[in-house]
Amino acid sequence: MAVLEYWPALLQGLWVTVWVSLCIIFGAAFGSVILGALRLSKSPVVRAATMLFIESVRGPSALVLLFWVYYALPLIPGMPHLGPVTAAILVLALDASAYGAEIVRAGIESVHRGQGDACHALGLSNLQGFRKVVLPQALSQIVPGFGSLARGIFKWTAIVSFIGVPDLLYVGGYIHGQTFETVSVFCLIAAIYWILTLLCAVVFRFIEQLLPLNRALRAARTSVQITSEAAALAGVAQ
């Protein structure tokens, strides 16, 4: 295929897609935890302001937000003109944070309220209790949901080509313009995105296995299984 002659450009576009996606995922993870925690604030004003912010970000299309930040924002006096990569990371990380906030909120609410009461009884501040007790337990619920969001982020990055970021889709469009091989070019691009999302799923599955609560549950199940087998062997011996 003539497409394979452009493999250096494909590798460059793949690198840009992976790098931008990872920046967005890390930014979204940080933003999701903050917004998710604020959604559960004891202050009604903070909860309402956070909810309004989340809905304001989730309402418009991510593509519209991207165009607005890159093209319209610099027209406002005093506003900076962001580069295409910076604008893409900022907008998509913010958009993903708005969706991830609900994942974090649900994960935190899955932790029994008694855990928070125990933290207060031990003299821990709200921040210490959240960071050391509540969040580690909530991660077993948060990580699977955020893993699905991260897989979506790899596909979301395709829109950054509309503002000139030389990602995988941008390079694919260039190769298509040079070779006119529509089917082979976009089938190859689709296969690469599929592989990226599959690898992302594997990574998050590995992270799930490393979580302290999941490791404790596996150890407990193993202990119960060993006890059951020992009891069965003792019964047979008698």
The full set of domain ranges for the chain reads: 2-237
Burial state string for 173-211 with b = 16 or more CB within 10 A and e = fewer than 16? ebbbeeeeeeeebbebbeebbeebbeebeeebeeeeeeb
Quick one: tokens of 4? Answer: 């394979």
Give 166's DSSP letter. Answer: -
Q: Could you tell me if residue 78 is left (phi over 0), alpha (psi between -120 and 50 degrees) or otherwise beta?
A: left
Q: Are 10 and 169 within 8 A, CB to CB?
A: no
Distance separating alpha carbons of residues 200 and 195, to the nearest angstrom? 9
Find all residues with CB under 8 Å of 142, minimum gap 6, and list them: 103, 104, 107
**In the CATH hierarchy, which top-level class contains the domain 2-237?**
mainly alpha
| pLDDT tens series, the chain, 238 aa | 667 777 888 899 999 999 999 999 999 999 998 998 888 888 889 999 999 999 998 888 889 999 999 999 888 888 888 899 999 999 999 999 999 999 998 888 887 777 666 777 777 777 777 777 777 778 888 888 899 999 999 998 999 999 989 999 999 888 888 888 888 888 999 999 999 999 999 999 888 888 766 565 555 556 556 555 555 555 555 5
Model pTM?
0.84
Give 82's DSSP letter. Answer: -
